[in-house]
Structure formats: structure tokens, C-alpha cells
């Protein structure tokens, strides 16, 4: 087993990865909340009559805005907080020495080929 230490993270690399992961989480949360708000607005429009239609339509628009804005906000904040976390880790790792990882090589599923045979001249003379 090999032991390695992570001394530094690339700030932009961590920020991009964290931003993308946060974007995906924001997309999932935005879809859930947005669909719930859209259903609520549609029900309000259907059952409230003429007076409640304006409130129902604005609620549907708000649900669509949630579906669009949540992933963007989550991705942006994920990028910002990922870069801050990488900067803090790099500063602390300079003082403490970083995170130690213990790595193990995977077993090979095949046997290596046998070594080549040495050529031996024939003991019989050529005819």
C-alpha cells in the first residue's frame, strides 16, 4: 500500500466540480419545488374563479421561475463556496501537512504471459 498526501487543491478545479454538483442538486430541488408550486397555482386558478385567476397565474409563473433560477443559484453559490473551501484547505494544509491517503493497487485479473524461450540450435546437421 502506498501512502500519499494531498498538499494542495486546484482552486478553480474544486470550484468547477462543486459548482456542477450544486447545479445538479439545485436542478433536482428546483424541479420538485417548481412542480409543487405550479400544481398549487393551477389548482388556485381552476377553483378560485375569476378573482383568483390572477393569483393562480402568477403562482404558475413563480413555479417556472423556481425551476429555472434554483439550479443557476445553486451552481453559482457552489462555485463560490467551492473556491473558498479550496483556498481555506490550501492555507490549512500548508500549516498541518494535508490529508493522508492510503492507496492500494488493484489485483490484475489476468496472468502475465510467460517469458520468451531461448532459441537453441538444432543438434542435427542440416541436409
pLDDT in tens, the chain (127 residues): 788 888 899 999 999 999 999 999 999 999 999 999 999 888 888 887 777 777 778 888 999 999 999 999 999 999 999 999 999 999 999 888 888 888 887 777 777 788 888 877 777 776 6
First to last CA, the chain: 59
Task: Classify residue 92: in a domain, yes or no.
Answer: yes
Residue 62, in any domain of the structure: yes
Residue 126 lies inside a defined structural domain of this protein: no
For the question of whether the overall pTM of this predicted structure is more than 0.75, the answer is: no
> Number of helices and strands (H, E) in the chain?
1, 2
* Residue 124: strand, helix, or coil: coil
> Residue 118: inside a domain, yes or no?
no
In a domain? residue 113:
no
Structural domain of 43: 24-97
| Count of structural domains within the chain | 1
Amino acid at each position: 500500500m502506498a501512502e500519499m498526501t494531498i498538499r494542495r487543491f486546484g482552486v478553480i478545479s474544486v470550484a468547477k466540480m462543486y459548482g456542477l454538483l450544486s447545479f445538479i442538486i439545485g436542478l433536482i430541488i428546483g424541479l420538485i419545488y417548481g412542480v409543487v408550486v405550479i400544481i398549487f397555482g393551477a389548482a388556485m386558478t381552476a377553483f378560485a374563479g375569476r378573482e383568483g385567476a390572477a393569483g393562480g397565474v402568477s403562482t404558475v409563473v413563480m413555479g417556472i421561475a423556481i425551476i429555472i433560477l434554483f439550479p443557476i443559484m445553486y451552481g453559482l453559490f457552489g462555485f463560490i463556496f467551492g473556491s473558498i473551501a479550496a483556498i481555506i484547505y490550501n492555507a490549512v494544509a500548508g500549516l498541518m501537512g494535508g490529508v493522508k491517503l492510503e492507496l492500494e493497487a488493484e489485483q490484475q485479473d489476468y496472468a502475465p504471459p510467460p517469458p520468451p524461450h531461448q532459441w537453441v540450435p538444432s543438434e542435427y546437421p542440416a541436409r
